[in-house]
């Protein structure tokens, strides 16, 4: 028992927000008389917060590297506006428009990354300028008006669902099958990681604890998929999110570039002396952020079925808050992609639950601000204890 307690203490940053998310979900499930976990509401929760989760994944890497990006909301709005002009006014095929929009986001990220990495202008200033610049360009491109509607194939990116196989009788069978396959993949990955840790003589959790963790994770995953399958099945955007989470978790934990990002965020000078090309790493981190901001703008525009001048407002604040709530450190070098997603879900569940309860937007903003403050204070407290 003491070993488990010590393990939880050592990984409090990793498990703390997950426990908090579960507690918040349980609280709102009780307060809303069971509405929170209804299949329709769970599906809406995913659709309504997907664009913020996409941003949180990219923002987490930016924060880990020791920087910040305040422009992502304006970039998302600008790319959404350009996509609307391409698809609605110029009749460009939606696949080509998506590619060009993501390319535009990457170029914007490269523009900002150049100033941060090679001219050494602080990222706060560069992206603050970008926030103002691309918000203005959005207004110019749209001429103050909304553009829509989008083609149905593009709208399916954000509001569509994967097709089912026949014979479901009210249950989306393909979603259930995907849930089982994801459970097996999760078990295989965790088992492989444990064997690797044992091979290299790293400390591992007790075997009984490891098995219990796998059982709980697999059960939670399949319950979640079952709830979705009870409505329309797995949304298309959830597939996109799962691919992004898997890809960026792998990059952050298992690749050289991931280790360089963490090293640079922990101590840039030491990383440079160790051979890390910090300027190049910073540049590509911002290119990646620009691309994901573009994807977020496309997802949001597809859900609204229009590009609007006010799109993207406060997206950057929600993404940054999600990362810090999810365990990122202000000083850089600390954080996980999964943590950023959990932080985004905490914000989303709170928004959804408070809306169901009829709490006004003013109180929602105040409560979210308090949660962010407590999360950062928790991070500072943990760092002061470990130092």
Q: Which domains does the chain have, with CATH numbers?
A: 2-160+235-386 (1.10.3470)
Q: Do 101 and 294 meet the contact criterion of CB atoms below 8 Å apart? A: yes
Q: Which two tokens stand for residue 178?
A: 């995907």
pLDDT-derived band at 385 (thresholds 50, 70, 90) equals: low
For residue 386, pLDDT over 80 is answered with no
Contact 98, 298 (CB under 8 A): yes
Measured distance between the N- and C-terminal CA atoms of the chain, rounded to whole angstroms: 26
Residues 109-131 have a mean pLDDT of 95
Please give the DSSP secondary-structure letter assigned to residue 359: -
pLDDT digits (tens, 9 = 90+) for 41-56: 999 999 999 999 999 9
Nearest alpha-carbon partner for 6 in 282, 175, 206: 206
pLDDT recorded at residue 257? 93
Q: What local confidence, expressed as pLDDT, does residue 167 receive?
A: 62
Q: Is the pLDDT of residue 32 over 70?
A: yes
Q: What pLDDT score does 247 carry?
A: 94
Rounded to an integer, the average pLDDT of 114-142 is 94
* pLDDT at residue number 383: 65
**For 166, what's the count of Cα atoms within 13 Å in the CB-facing half-sphere?**
0
pLDDT band at 7 (very low <50, low <70, confident <90, very high): low
- Classified as helix, coil or strand, 147 is strand
Q: Can you tell me the distance from the alpha carbon of 71 to that of 126, in angstroms, rounded to the nearest whole number?
A: 9
Average pLDDT over residues 178-206: 87
Residue 354 Cα distances to 31, 51, 89, angstroms: 10, 20, 39
Distance CA 148, CA 243 (A): 28
> Has residue 267 got a pLDDT over 80?
yes
The separation between CA 244 and the C-alpha centre of its own chain, rounded to angstroms, equals: 9
pTM score, whole prediction: 0.91
Q: State the pLDDT at residue 129.
A: 95
Residue 307, strand partner residues: 147
Does residue 5 have a pLDDT over 60? no
Answer for the pair 323, 337: CB distance below 8 angstroms, yes or no.
no
pLDDT digits (tens, 9 = 90+) for 249-258: 999 988 999 9
């Amino acid at each position: 028992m003491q070993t488990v307690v010590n393990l939880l203490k050592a990984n409090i940053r990793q498990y703390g927000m997950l426990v908090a998310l579960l507690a918040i979900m349980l609280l709102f499930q009780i307060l809303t008389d069971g509405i929170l976990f209804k299949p329709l509401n769970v599906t809406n929760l995913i659709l309504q917060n997907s664009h913020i989760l996409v941003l949180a994944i990219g923002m987490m890497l930016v924060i880990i590297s020791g920087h910040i990006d305040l422009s992502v909301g304006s970039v998302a709005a600008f790319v959404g506006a350009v996509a609307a002009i391409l698809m609605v006014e110029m009749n460009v095929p939606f696949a080509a428009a998506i590619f060009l929009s993501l390319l535009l986001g990457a170029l914007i990220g490269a523009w900002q990354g150049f100033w941060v990495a090679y001219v050494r202008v602080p990222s706060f200033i560069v992206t603050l300028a970008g926030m103002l610049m691309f918000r203005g360009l959005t207004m110019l491109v749209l001429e103050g008006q909304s553009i829509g509607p989008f083609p149905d194939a593009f709208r399916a990116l954000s509001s569509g669902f994967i097709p089912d196989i026949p014979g479901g009788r009210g249950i989306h069978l393909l979603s259930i099958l995907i849930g089982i396959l994801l459970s097996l993949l999760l078990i295989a990955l965790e088992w492989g990681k444990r064997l690797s840790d044992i091979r290299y003589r790293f400390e591992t959790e007790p075997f009984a604890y490891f098995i219990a963790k796998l059982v709980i994770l697999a059960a939670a995953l399949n319950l979640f998929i079952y709830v979705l399958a009870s409505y329309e099945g797995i949304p298309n955007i959830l597939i996109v999110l799962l691919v992004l989470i898997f890809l960026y978790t792998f990059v952050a934990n298992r690749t050289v570039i991931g280790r360089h990002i963490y090293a640079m965020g922990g101590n840039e000078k030491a990383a440079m002396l160790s051979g890390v090309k910090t300027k190049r790493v910073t540049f590509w981190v911002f290119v990646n952020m620009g691309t994901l901001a573009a994807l977020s703008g496309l997802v949001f525009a597809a859900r609204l079925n229009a590009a609007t001048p006010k799109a993207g407002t406060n997206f950057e604040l929600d993404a940054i808050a999600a990362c810090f709530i999810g365990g990122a450190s202000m000083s850089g070098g600390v954080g996980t992609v999964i943590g950023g997603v959990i932080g985004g879900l905490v914000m989303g569940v709170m928004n959804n639950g408070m809306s169901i309860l009829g709490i006004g937007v003013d109180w929602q903003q105040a409560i979210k601000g308090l949660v962010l403050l407590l999360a950062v204070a928790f991070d500072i407290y943990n760092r002061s204890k470990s130092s």
